[in-house]
Amino acid sequence: MRISIQACVEGADSSPRVISIGCVERDAGVDPASGLGLFLREAHELLRQIQTLVLNEQADEFVRVAAGCLACGRRLGIKDTKPLVYRTAFGKAILRSPRFYAHCSGCGLRSGEGDTVSPLAHALRQRCHPQWTWLQCRYASVMSYRLAQIFLRDAFPGGKELPTSSIKRSVGGVGQRLEREAKRATSVAADSFTRANRLPLTGTPSALQIDAGYIKTPPQADGRRWIPVVASKLFRSDRGRGYAHASALGLGRRQGMRQQAFLQSVGVDRQSPVTVLSDGGDDISHACKLPAATARVLDWFHIGMRFEQLLLGVVVLFM
């Protein structure tokens, strides 16, 4: 048996085209218990072919539309075409990225600041599909880069050409972007509390759990082999879900405002009083000083730990 898979491409201003994607062949004598349906290798190959087709068609369509003069619609003169590598979970494609002369020969309008414009290269600043970056970060955040690479290699066709260094770079890029956003949100929160310092805390009360930990690292410039991390968790009963936030940038004075910015980012009003649940450690003293904090409570886990230590002491005394 042979099953051929074809795609029919219907452009806006062109007649339909049928393109072969691949085929699946099965021998009638093969025991079905060895596996019915597609195998991973076949599925990956078919997905890769479909993705290559979709990427090329979509990119060409975009360039066709973007290559028109903004004023008269006349097609800009093409200078040359360069390859553009774009990576996705379903494989990478080398797209055609033409460069056009910015000067329109019809009406004289200049599209862009330079002599040439590359619409596709300009539109695809990140040469990686956002979902592919998200998948890399999702798994590299809960396991080692190496294990994440093995999992992505087995699960997605794009993982075949994904070195751990790329995953590391993706995670670093996303981490830096998140940090920039968090810093901006912290500044906005600080400004809002400066202006609204006198407002009474009359909103819905919420509870924020904060703790600190230490992550082992290669030796730092000052000889340390660890970095401090502050993590916090908020549970919203009205939404039936929790939110978590963590940063590994030291135990600075702005940690409290950062916690406040985190609360505001998940919809907790700045006038909501906050009860902080934490241990009594000095390492999180700054993080617990939120502008909206009204109480700091030692949580049950840490109380339990103290009892365990006490009981241990009692046992040692009587031995």
Which residues sit at the interface with Zn ion, rule CB under 5 A? 69, 71-72, 74, 104, 106-107, 109
Residue 312's nearest CA partner among 280, 304, 211 is: 304
189-216: burial string, b at 16+ Cβ within 10 Å, e else? bbebbeeeeeeeeeeeebbbbbbbeeee
- CA dist 153 and 193 (Å) reads 48
Sign, CA dihedral 269-271-273-279, equals: positive
Provide the minimum distance between the beta carbon of 120 and Zn ion in the complex, in angstroms, as a whole number. Answer: 20
Angle between helices 164-195 and 130-140 (to 10 degrees): 90
d(Cα 44, Cα 155) in Å, to the nearest integer? 9
Q: How far is the CB of 70 from Zn ion (least distance, A)?
A: 7
Answer whether 59's CB lies under 8 Å from 96's CB: yes
Nearest C-alpha neighbor of 257 from the set 183, 178, 181:
183
Smaller CB separation from Zn ion, 114 or 280? 114
| Residue in this structure with the two tokens 């004075």, named with its chain if needed | 253
Q: Could you tell me the smallest distance in angstroms from the CB atom of residue 104 to Zn ion?
A: 3
- The residue written with tokens 């590994």 in the block is 248
- Distance CA(71)–CA(64), nearest Å, equals 16
Nearer to Zn ion, 102 or 189 (CB): 102
Q: Distance between alpha carbon 283 and the CA centroid of its chain, in Å? A: 29
> Which C-beta is closer to Zn ion: that of 63 or that of 171?
63
* CA distance linking residue 169 with residue 175, whole number of Å: 10
Q: What backbone phi and psi angles, to 5 degrees, belong to 37?
A: 85, -165
Which CB atom, from 63 or from 104, has the smaller least distance to Zn ion?
A: 104
Minimum Å distance from CB 78 to Zn ion?
A: 15
Backbone angles phi, psi at 24, to 5 degrees: -120, 125
Residue type, 11: G
Please, which residue, 70 or 311, has the CB nearer to Zn ion?
Answer: 70
To the nearest whole angstrom, how small is the minimum distance from the Cβ of residue 73 to Zn ion? 7
Minimum distance of Zn ion from residue 74's CB (angstroms): 5
Q: Which is nearer to Zn ion, 74 or 168 (CB)?
A: 74
C-beta of 74 vs 233, nearer to Zn ion: 74
CA distance from start to end of the chain: 78
Give whichever of 107 and 196 is closer to Zn ion, judged by the CB atom.
Answer: 107
**Minimal distance in Å, beta carbon 108 to Zn ion?**
7
- In the complex, least distance from residue 66 CB atom to Zn ion, rounded to whole angstroms: 14
